[in-house]
């Protein structure tokens, strides 16, 4: 039987927990996490108390060494070298890694990227894939190189995107998809026969770090585009509109069939953003193409509620017009300019 790989894990997001838990239990014959690198604790809650992320909590519960550098410096690379890792495994870490750091482990540094590369290289692949109306996404196991998510890939774990999925559901599915991917690839990595193939670089698309203004909605866009954007950007940054000076957050939306409710069609003269009424499922709003049905809404300080319950305390009259704002591009054929980490 082969000796398990000594794995240093670098990550800061709970999407990685299913894979880590598999390594701890069923996967321990193939790999053993010996240390964790993660982001520094962040202020959270009303008291702004410094709070560890879920990856750090997972590691501490297992008495693993935890490193939380604000930047990956030469000193940090020396800390990694002292751990004598066979391989570093990265998922949603949040730091850019230099070549000397990437090359420190005996077998290099691998990344579990949350898209089917070469599509959606960059910082928000889950949200952008949903907002861009993809029917499928997935996990790619790749080697890290200096170019953004451009390393050769060894395996893919596809995940379907349903029309009811938000970023929360897809993140959970992608986390689970890491398990069979690791199960099939780690034995080959140990044996030295895991093959990495170059990506189809001309087909690459890029996404960027999301900002609060990405939640703007332009109702002259199609209902399909708007519904996908609302689902993709939930829960953060969240899409919303301003009504009577109050920002209203939208949690879920769909596009009803034309005969789903009386008057579901939109006249060519109807102003996009016009409230058409409410059916059994949600608030119907005119768009540039079709009807958007908003299923869940939230007012400041309140809970996310089903549309019917929300509208009992916050009525929106038929004929009211929800204001539009320009929607920022989420995807590009070229890398977006790098922004400083928050």
C-beta separation of 323 from 242 below 8 A: yes
- Looking at residue 315, its pLDDT comes to 86
Q: How far apart are CA 243 and CA 220, in angstroms?
A: 18
- CATH of the domain spanning 217-313: 3.10.25.10
C-beta separation of 108 from 189 below 8 A: no
- Looking at residue 13, its pLDDT comes to 96
Neighbours of 55 (CB within 10 A): 26
- Looking at residue 23, its pLDDT comes to 97
* Residue count of the chain: 342
- Looking at residue 216, its pLDDT comes to 98
The CATH 3.40.50.170 domain(s) of the chain lie at 5-207
Global pTM value: 0.93
- Looking at residue 280, its pLDDT comes to 87
The CATH 3.10.25.10 domain(s) of the chain lie at 217-313
Q: How far apart are CA 234 and CA 224, in angstroms?
A: 16
- Looking at residue 262, its pLDDT comes to 42
Strand-pair partners of 328:
none
**144-156 burial, b for 16+ CB within 10 Å, e for fewer?**
bbeeebbbebbbb
Q: How far apart are CA 180 and CA 190, in angstroms?
A: 16
Spatial CA neighbour of 207 closest among 90, 84, 331, 108: 331
- CATH of the domain spanning 5-207: 3.40.50.170
Neighbours of 247 (CB within 10 A): 13
Cis peptide bond upstream of 237, omega within 30:
yes
**What is the token pair recorded at 91?**
């998922």
Residue by residue, pLDDT tens for the chain (342 residues) are: 579 999 999 999 999 999 999 999 999 999 999 999 999 999 877 778 899 999 999 999 999 999 999 999 999 999 999 999 999 999 999 998 999 999 999 999 999 999 999 999 999 999 999 999 999 999 999 999 989 999 999 999 999 999 999 999 999 999 999 999 999 999 999 999 999 999 999 999 999 999 999 999 999 999 999 999 999 999 999 999 999 889 999 999 999 987 544 444 566 679 999 999 998 899 999 999 999 999 999 999 999 999 999 999 998 999 999 999 999 999 999 998 865 444
Rg (C-alpha) for the chain, rounded Å, is: 23
Q: How far apart are CA 78 and CA 85, in angstroms?
A: 12
C-beta separation of 116 from 141 below 8 A: no
- Looking at residue 196, its pLDDT comes to 98
């Amino acid at each position: 039987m082969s000796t398990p790989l000594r794995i240093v894990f670098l990550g800061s997001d709970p999407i990685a927990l299913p894979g880590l838990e598999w390594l701890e239990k069923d996967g321990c014959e193939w790999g053993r996490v010996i240390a964790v690198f993660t982001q520094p604790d962040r202020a959270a809650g009303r008291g702004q108390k410094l709070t560890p992320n879920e990856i750090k909590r997972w590691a501490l519960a297992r008495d693993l060494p935890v490193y939380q550098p604000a930047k990956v410096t030469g000193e940090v690379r020396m800390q990694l070298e002292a751990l004598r890792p066979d391989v570093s495994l990265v998922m949603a870490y949040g730091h850019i890694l230099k070549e000397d750091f990437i090359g420190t482990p005996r077998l290099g540094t691998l990344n579990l990227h949350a898209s089917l590369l070469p599509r959606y290289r960059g910082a928000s692949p889950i949200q952008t894939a949903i907002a861009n109306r993809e029917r499928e996404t997935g996990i790619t196991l790749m080697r890290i190189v200096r170019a953004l998510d451009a390393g050769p890939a060894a395996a893919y774990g596809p995940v379907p995107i349903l029309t009811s999925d938000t970023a929360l559901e897809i993140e959970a599915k992608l986390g689970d998809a890491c398990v069979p991917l690791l199960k099939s690839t780690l034995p080959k990595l140990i044996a030295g026969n895991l093959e990495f193939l170059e990506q189809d670089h001309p087909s690459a698309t890029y996404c960027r770090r999301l900002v609060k203004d990405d939640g703007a909605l332009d109702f002259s866009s199609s209902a399909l585009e708007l519904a996908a954007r609302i689902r993709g950007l939930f829960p953060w940054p969240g899409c919303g509109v301003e009504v009577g000076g109050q920002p209203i957050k939208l949690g879920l939306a769909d596009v009803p069939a034309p005969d789903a409710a009386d008057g579901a069609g939109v006249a060519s003269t109807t102003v996009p953003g016009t409230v058409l009424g409410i059916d059994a499922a949600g608030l119907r709003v005119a768009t540039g193409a079709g009807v958007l049905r908003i299923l869940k809404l939230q007012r400041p300080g309140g809970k996310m509620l089903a549309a019917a319950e929300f509208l009992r305390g916050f009525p929106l009259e038929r004929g009211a017009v929800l204001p539009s704002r320009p929607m920022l591009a989420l995807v590009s054929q070229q890398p977006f300019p790098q922004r400083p980490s928050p």
